[in-house]
Each structure stands twice: as structure tokens, then as C-alpha cells.
A and B are shown apart, each in its own frame.
Chain A
Amino acid sequence: DAGITQSPRHKVTETGTPVTLRCHQTENHRYMYWYRQDPGHGLRLIHYSYGVKDTDKGEVSDGYSVSRSKTEDFLLTLESATSSQTSVYFCAISGLGDGTQYFGPGTRLLVL
């Protein structure tokens, strides 16, 4: 199994509060991704990174920001959480950026 951890695994927060999710990898992979998974929508890409300090937007990036200051960590921040951001968030990594990605265990976020 690829060495990917996500923290926290579960979080309950209130509307309007900032939230940061962390993805940590031990594989030294260049590419890292954040997805959200919702019923009826499947997995959708939020943001991704193709190197330290190199990031780009995915298809559902509004309301989210990311940072990658070192290879092993990729942070996802919800600046001001809304109820529509209640979801399960997955981090993924890829060594070659060729479509083969390995997923972390997920973070279940509930915004009240």
C-alpha cells in the first residue's frame, strides 16, 4: 500500500470557520491531488500539485485553497466553511503523473 495518511479522519465544524486538511506521503511522489466525493457526483478534483509550490485548480476549486511547501505534505484549506462543503475528501498521489493514482483513507467533514 502506498504510504498516504490524511488528518484528521473525521471533523465536525460550524459554518464560517476555517478548516485545514492535511495529506502526508512517504513515497516521495511528485504529484498530489485533492478530491471530494459526493453522492450523485462521484469523485471530483478540487486542486492538484505537480511539485513543491506548484499547484493548479481542478473542476470544483471555488472556496478552497491549497499549499505545498514540501514534497511530502499537501494542505487543503476551506477559508470559510459552508454546508455545501460537507463531503468526504480524498488525497491521492502519483509518481509519474500519468493517471495512475493512489488514494489515502479519506477525511469525513461535516459542516453544520
Chain B
Amino acid sequence: TQLLEQSPQFLSIQEGENLTVYCNSSSVFSSLQWYRQEPGEGPVLLVTVVTGGEVKKLKRLTFQFGDARKDSSLHITAAQPGDTGLYLCAGAREETSGSRLTFGEGTQLTVNP
């Protein structure tokens, strides 16, 4: 069962354009993480959002956690070729032995110069 749906799966845009990636679930998460992964490497943590409605900004990247803590979005302003990569969202659920992450399948972003 895929608990986290990411869309779009693939996105190819021109340098300077804006884009939004969505991460949706029917489950409530205690927190949600966004990662970026480049070929041959492990995912790198971009941000953690914890509070419903929370908005975090990281330079040209804006992350939002839905009010009900079931969904999230990543918006990139004025995309650059260096933004190319696989973007993954992951929802965390608390358990007595620590949080477990459920990952979306990812959005492969290509920014063309």
C-alpha cells in the first residue's frame, strides 16, 4: 500500500521557471521530511516540518505542511540547473521504538539551461 502519493512523478522545465511538487496522504504524520537525492548518492535532508500549517523557506525553496498534517508541498522559485535531482517526501509516525518513515516514490526534476 502506497501511503504517500507524490506528484508529478517527472518534471522537466526551463531555467527560471517556478514549480510545485505535491505530497499527499490519507494518514496523519507527526512530521514530514523532504529530501533531495542525486544519482549514485544517498538522500540529503532538506527540511523537517512538524506543525500543521507550518511554512519553511530555504533560499528559493518553500515547504508547507498541511493544516491536518496529511499533505505537504515544495515550491521552487526561479529554478536553476543545479536544482536537478530526485525530490522525496517522507512522513514520520511515532512509535514506542522511535519514528518510522514512509517515503513517496519521488519526483524527478530536470531543469534545462
Query: Which residues of A pack against B, CB within 8 Å?
Result: 4, 30-31, 33, 40-45, 48, 50, 54, 56, 58, 90, 92, 94, 97-106
Contacts and interface: CB of A to CB of B under 8 A. Distances in A.
List the 7 shortest-distance A-B pairs measured between CB atoms, nearest first.
Answer: A99-B92, A97-B98, A103-B42, A42-B105, A43-B103, A99-B99, A50-B97
Contact of A98 (B42, B88, B92, B104): B92
Nearest to A98: B99
Interface residues of B, number: 25
Contacts of B42: 4, 90, 92, 103-106
20 contacts: A4-B42, A31-B98, A33-B101, A40-B105, A41-B105, A42-B88, A42-B106, A43-B101, A45-B101, A48-B98, A92-B42, A98-B99, A99-B101, A100-B31, A100-B45, A101-B33, A102-B45, A103-B44, A106-B40, A106-B41
Interface string B40-66: 111111001000000000000000000
B30, B35, B90, B101: residue with the most chain A Cβ atoms closer than 10 Å: B101
Nearest to B98: A97
Interface of B: 30-33, 35, 40-45, 48, 88, 90-92, 97-101, 103-106
B44 to A, nearest CB: 7
Contacts of B97: 48, 50, 54, 56, 97
A93 to B, nearest CB: 11
Given A99-B30, A103-B42, A104-B42, A45 B98 contact: no
Nearest to B93: A99
A97 B99 contact: yes
B103 A42 contact: yes
Most buried by A among B44, B92, B98: B98
